[in-house]
A and B are shown apart, each in its own frame.
Chain A
Amino acid sequence: MLAGEMGPVRRIALQHQIKVGDFFGAEDFVPVTQAHIMADTESLGEAGVAWLEMLAGHPVAERRVRIPTITDPRGTDFSKAALLKQAVWMLDLEQRAIDAFVKLGVMMTDTCINYQTVLAATRGEHVAFGDTGVVIYTNSVGGARSNFEGGPSALAAGLTGRTPRYGYHLDGQRQATLKVTTDWTPATLNEWGALGGVVGRLAGNYWAVPVIEGIDRAPGSDELKHFGASMASFGSIALFHMLGVTPEAARLQDVASPGIPEVRVGRADAMALQASYRGDDKVDVVVFSGPQLSLIELAALADLCDGRHFTVPVLAVTSPQIKPDADRIGLTARIEDAGGTVLAGMCFYQSYAREIAQANGWKNLVTNSAKMVNILGGYGYRPMLASMEECVEAGCTGRLR
């Protein structure tokens, strides 16, 4: 492959992987069963799309991925682009990227919750996943093994069927480095996200592995989704253990050596994080996204929307796999009857968030996603974190109480 006998595309992919593997001291490669590519065009830009098109221009036998390879959300929902006031050039760039990926044999799943909608990786399975929320969930809840694989590396893994063996592919990296004790089990998704953000900030870097003790029940998939996505966003964390919950942490001694640093966190810490994002109470837009909503989250939102009338835009973003069910079951209609909009296949912050804020006059944004509030400040928003119920109320009144 490196000699080019399998074509230049696979040689480019392997050269990239060797460069990264050498940087981290990887001794060899590990075969992977799936790859998941984050590649919205806001990130890719013209240069990234042109690079994909260059790869896609090679003969079919040389350019197609060797293992199931899927995609993270796109930068738009084409059917709702006008509502978002996205420019034509954004859509053109998206379409070029999609065309290139299809030529490369990539399946356009356009989801950051593939572990809920496509195919969850299992304990011990080596994969090459992009999207930090996908990786932390896959490593922690699934017990599978992946590093953060950015788009170029995930695509390279798809093309070669392997990835450099370093980081979370190794047993030693999966041991806890910080014990986090809590006497508080969050009740709502924003609370889970806030607690994840607190833990992420404390743990602090990609190589840190927190083990959480004191959660008093088995959290649901959506709760762990928000907890992990926020932890990954605030702290670049790729793996956490939760005693008695996650598969590698039946007992503390399974994942932690005696004497690792310990810290206590509680409700006050999470609420302080949430409060730190509160500005004035005016709300320009309400967004449920980051990660995409599961069918269960959409159902909960639909219940809250019945009989309500929104006065500011309320956007709920889900995956292309879930949207047809939401339509068929009637959830979409119930949310949109209240004045909301259900979008699919995109993620709000990956969809030219700065440009659509300027086009729509959006500044104050309220969401129940802690990951989103961490990200959107850099895009010029004043994001605020609240419960789904408070978000819906804000959609009706234009105020966050």
Chain B
Amino acid sequence: MSGKEFIAAHAMGSRVEGFALVAKDGFSARYDLDRIQGVFSRPAHKLAGQSYRDRILVLDTAKGGVASAWMLHEMKARGVTPLALVFNSVNPIIAQGTALADLTMLAGFDCDITSVLASGARVELIPERRLLRVFATTP
């Protein structure tokens, strides 16, 4: 059985499928992450202490500094990245970093994507169609 589908305004990368990690919070590779351990480290972040590794990270917006443009590339080289990124809104840095790291990202929906997805949901991203599909929880 198919689940819900959402269309993004912006997309890049290749098709991926995985489990979502969701929060109504921002994202900065420098400010928010322990990039060595692969967990959110900023104490005030809503995902503090949680691993983002190989998750489809669904957050509100990209925040902060330009370092993320390099850091995603460095994280990718060590295999400690999210599987993909999904945002309500992004800044150029995340787009530039995602491009260099050759990751998948969707951004810009006609709803608050963090409020319609729950952590643990199985999700498929198809960038060429700017499509986010949520698999139904029961067949």
Contacts and interface: CB of A to CB of B under 8 A. Distances in A.
Interface of A: 16, 19-20, 22-25, 38-40, 42-48, 51, 72, 130-132, 147-153, 166-167, 204-207, 232-233, 235-236, 238, 349-350, 374-375, 377-380
A152 B61 contact: no
Interface in B33-60: 33-34, 41-44
B90 interface: yes
B65 A233 contact: yes
A307 to B, nearest CB: 37
Q: Which interface class (under 10, 10 to 19, 20 to 34, 35 or more) fits B?
A: 35 or more
B93 to A, nearest CB: 5
B97 interface: yes
A46 B30 contact: no
25 contacts: A20-B92, A23-B99, A38-B67, A43-B71, A45-B73, A45-B78, A48-B73, A131-B65, A148-B66, A149-B92, A150-B67, A151-B69, A152-B70, A152-B97, A153-B96, A204-B61, A205-B61, A205-B91, A206-B62, A206-B90, A238-B91, A375-B64, A378-B31, A378-B41, A378-B42
Contacts of A375: 30-31, 64-65
B95 A24 contact: yes
B17 to A, nearest CB: 21
Interface string B2-46: 000000001110000000000000101011111000000111100
Among A39, A45, A236, residue most surrounded by chain B Cβ atoms (within 10 Å): A236
Contacts of A149: 66, 92, 96
Given A43-B30, A377-B44, A378-B41, A147 B92 contact: yes
A167 B92 contact: yes
Contacts of A377: 31, 42-44
